[in-house]
Amino acid sequence: MPAANPSTQADRRRFLVNAARMAGGCAVAGGLLSWLAHDARALPAQALRPPGALDEADFLAACIRCGLCVRDCPYDTLSLAELGADGPATGTPFFTARDVPCEMCDDIPCVAACPTGALDKGLTNIDDARMGTAVLVDQENCLNFLGLRCDVCYRVCPVIDEAITLELSHNDRSGHHAIFAPTVHADRCTGCGMCEKSCVLPEAAIKVLPVRLARGASAEHYRKGWEELEQNGAPLVDGIIDLPDRLPGPGTDNLATPGGFAPVFTLPESGQ
Amino acid sequence: MSAKTKLPTGQEAIAVKGWIGAHKWLLLRRASQVFFLALFLLGPWFGIWWVSGTLAGSRTFGVLPLTDPLVMAQSLLAGHRPELTALTGAVIVLAVYALIGGRVYCSWVCPINPVTDAAHWLHDRLGLPKGWQPKRHTRLWVLGMVLLVSALTGVIAWEVVNPITMLHRGLVFGMGATWGLVAAIFLFDLLVARRGWCGHLCPVGAFYGLVGAKSLVRVSARQRSACDDCMDCFAVCPENHVISPALRGKQGDTPLILSPDCTNCGRCIDVCSVDVFTFTHRFDDRLSEPGDTATPNVADKAA
């Protein structure tokens, strides 16, 4: 059918051109959408996710932004991020500790309300929540660090004496007082934000930060010798060489020649 | 074409059936849109928590979970294994729309529909040109793109920009800058592309179209022999390519509008002065031929 050929060819051509146009348009729009989706992960530091929230990357795959956690929060702690007004991905739940902290309900109603598991049902004890970690960010303004007895962050902490303790040290300024330094223990801090909310300063000296900002991480292969020693009754590695302690002053071994360290050998032409 | 083609859309239907009669389905549809929005607003406005949540996911009377199946599909592709509650909710929604017509969501529930309808109304009043008219299947490409981006980025991608859930969430929880997005859709439909958003681009509509491809509830042009070519149904239909196969079908062609693009909005029924169209189910392909008095509709008129 030679007569049919031109129209078949034209059809094929039109089909290919149309498909290419659609694919091109979708590539542009898809690129833009990917960029927005990726951008959505940039959770601001002061925005905290509800208890049990998955890691931010997993959270954005799981949270359908229905707001049921917000509805079931008895203290109106949570709110949904509004487009352009709040930092987190639009429509996702968050709270700001300095405004309304998490009251750490025993029955964790926000987690119970979540239909998708974006708030992990595996969280059954609210003390295990890790919404963030409190950090005493400003020792220079903290009243306790100035030697006063404010203690408010310590007193309001729902995990008092575990998540925040007061560590005593000598007050060098007055010479005869103690400093009661509020000290956060990250392994017990839930990130509820009570301390930040209650800090009496105009700008809180203790703040709840996302764990990724608040904490470092120890390398996996690091071992603390003193812990290992206590556990095993002996060093993990046999035949450890006991190197001399180096102190300023002459000598190579502090035990042999108390008072310090001097080079074992002199460098040639060093004039020593 | 006939002389009636020149008359303003719907004028004859109003003359024959009265204003209410010629807007029955439109009024019912607006009532439905208000009803579904009001269900969600009862809680935050009046403290009556029959329904909480948003269109993306909700809980009714404390027990019935409903989840937007497209959001769920994206979540699955993004690599999350949802809890049973959300999955159950999505299955229920899928089942209902598979039965009553997927795009019933578009015309009877979606809060963006009044916005684009308003844009179209103004577009008509101002006599503006059609503007950019991408192919109808563009939205299927957009749907594919959205699913692909969800899979690649691991984020429920469409929810980053989805004007439907954003407007609904905005009304129920707080708008933020969402008004700007809604205004953008309005202006796009008004100035850039007539019926551009819902009719050509929205991937949610495309998704629900696929869901309801074999749905039970259908409009039938049963009395197509009575059609006087006034063209009003084509003027009001938001997806007017769906009408021709049914209305202009040859002998033996089904009078049912079977295109998955049909939103079951019922405006064609409203606007037809000779009652060509009627709601029925997909297995009812009866036709009234000229002079046929078997159907109750014609019999009523004869009486």
How close, in Å, is residue B1 to chain A by CA atoms?
Answer: 30
Domain spans in chain B, listed from the N-terminal domain onward? 3-8+217-281, 50-211
Residue linked to tokens 């962050």: A153
Q: Taking residues A31-36, what's their average pLDDT?
A: 93
Question: Which SS3 state, helix, strand or coil, does residue B222 take?
Answer: coil
Q: How far is the CA of A192 from the CAs of A128, A151, A158, B243, in angstroms? A: 11, 17, 9, 59
Q: Does domain B3-8+217-281 sit in CATH 3.30.70.20?
A: yes
Lowest mean pLDDT of A122-131, A234-243, A245-254, B260-269, name the range: A245-254
Q: Show which of residues 231-290 on chain B sit within 8 Å of chain A, judged by CB atoms.
A: none
B171 or A84, which is more confident?
B171
On the question of pLDDT at A248 being above 60, the answer is: no
Asked if the C-beta of B121 comes within 8 angstroms of chain A's C-beta atoms, the answer is: no
Task: State residue B302's pLDDT score.
Answer: 41
Question: Which SS3 state, helix, strand or coil, does residue A236 take?
Answer: coil
Asked if the C-beta of A211 comes within 8 angstroms of chain B's C-beta atoms, the answer is: no
Task: State residue A58's pLDDT score.
Answer: 95
A23 contacts on B by Cβ (under 8 Å): 141
A110 or B176, which is more confident?
A110
Strands B64-67 and A79-80, by their bridges, are unpaired
Cβ of B155 and A41 within 8 Å? yes
Cβ of B141 and A67 within 8 Å? no
Cβ of A79 and B148 within 8 Å? no
- Nearest alpha-carbon partner for A136 in A49, A197, A196: A196
Task: State residue B10's pLDDT score.
Answer: 85
Q: What's the complex ipTM?
A: 0.89
Task: State residue A165's pLDDT score.
Answer: 97
Residue ranges of chain A assigned to CATH 3.30.70.20: 132-212
B203 contacts on A by Cβ (under 8 Å): none
Asked if the C-beta of B164 comes within 8 angstroms of chain A's C-beta atoms, the answer is: no
A11 or A234, which is more confident?
A11
B58 contacts on A by Cβ (under 8 Å): 66, 68
How close, in Å, is residue A188 to chain B by CA atoms?
Answer: 28
Inter-chain CB pairs, A–B, below 8 Å: 162
Q: Best interface-test mutation with A: which of B145, B179, B200 has the largest number of A CBs within 10 A?
A: B145
- In which band, very low, low, confident or very high, does the pLDDT at A84 lie, cut at 50, 70 and 90? confident
B152 contacts on A by Cβ (under 8 Å): 34
Residue A237: is it exposed, middle or buried by C-beta count within 10 angstroms (0-12/13-18/19+)? exposed
Q: Taking residues A160-165, what's their average pLDDT?
A: 96
Task: State residue A1's pLDDT score.
Answer: 44
Task: State residue B150's pLDDT score.
Answer: 96
A67 → closest Cβ in B141, B159, B169? B169
On the question of pLDDT at A43 being above 80, the answer is: yes
From the CB of residue A209, how many other CB atoms can be counted at a distance below 10 Å?
Answer: 19
- In which band, very low, low, confident or very high, does the pLDDT at A265 lie, cut at 50, 70 and 90? low
Q: What is the pLDDT along chain B (303 residues), one digit of tens a residue?
A: 566 777 788 889 999 999 999 999 999 999 999 999 999 999 999 999 999 999 999 999 999 999 999 999 999 999 999 999 999 999 999 999 999 999 999 999 999 999 999 999 999 999 999 999 988 889 999 999 999 999 999 999 999 999 999 999 999 999 989 999 999 999 999 999 999 999 999 999 999 999 999 999 999 999 999 999 999 999 999 998 999 999 988 888 899 999 999 999 999 999 999 999 999 999 998 888 665 544 444 444 443
| CATH architecture, domain defined by A132-212 | 2-Layer Sandwich (3.30)
Measure the CA–CA gap between B15 and A234, rounded to whole angstroms. Answer: 102
Q: Show which of residues 93-122 on chain A sit within 8 Å of chain B, judged by CB atoms.
A: 113-118, 121
Cβ of A64 and B144 within 8 Å? no
Measure the CA–CA gap between A110 and A92, rounded to whole angstroms. Answer: 13
Asked if B2 and B230 count as a contact pair (C-beta separation under 8 A), the reply is yes
* Amino acid letter, residue B276: V
How close, in Å, is residue A112 to chain B by CA atoms?
Answer: 11
Q: Taking residues A149-158, what's their average pLDDT?
A: 96
Residue linked to tokens 């959270």: A59
Task: State residue A254's pLDDT score.
Answer: 57
Measure the CA–CA gap between B31 and B17, rounded to whole angstroms. Answer: 20
Answer CATH for A40-130 from 3.30.70, 1.10.1740, 3.40.630, 3.40.50: 3.30.70
Question: Which SS3 state, helix, strand or coil, does residue B201 take?
Answer: helix
CA angle B54, B97, A23 (to 5 degrees): 85
On the question of pLDDT at A216 being above 80, the answer is: yes
